[in-house]
């Protein structure tokens, strides 16, 4: 798979996603699997992983976390 912007090869890696929620809540998800372009820095996260991230963030909010780091968990 190649970068949609600069056509360089995408490399497997991990990224950090920051979600700014209502009421000033900030949830940061670490170690999210992503394909990363070494040329321009474009990060591509597949649908499956983005759904997992979404669930983790929703759970964190439901748990009352207002600001914090959570780690990507494949089992989520």
From CA 35, how far away is CA 7, in angstroms rounded? 13
Of 1-9, 23-31, 45-53, 54-62, the window that binds Zn ion (rule: CB under 5 A) is: 1-9
Q: Does 3 bind Zn ion (CB under 5 A)?
A: yes
Per-residue contact flags (x/-) with Zn ion for residues 6 to 35, judged by CB under 5 A: x-x---------------------------
Task: Using alpha carbons, select from 55, 58, 1 the residue that is nearest to residue 44.
Answer: 1
40 binds Zn ion (CB under 5 A): yes
Q: Is 5 in the site for Zn ion (CB under 5 A)?
A: yes
3-state class percentages of the chain: helix first, strand second, coil last, to nearest 5:
25, 40, 35
């Amino acid at each position: 798979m190649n970068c949609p912007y600069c056509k360089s090869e995408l490399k497997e890696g991990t990224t950090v996603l920051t979600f700014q929620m209502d009421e000033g809540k900030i949830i940061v998800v670490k170690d999210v699997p992503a394909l990363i372009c070494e040329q321009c820095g474009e990060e591509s996260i597949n649908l499956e992983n983005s759904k997992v991230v979404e669930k983790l963030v929703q759970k964190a909010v439901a748990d009352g976390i207002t600001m914090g780091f959570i780690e990507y968990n494949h089992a989520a």
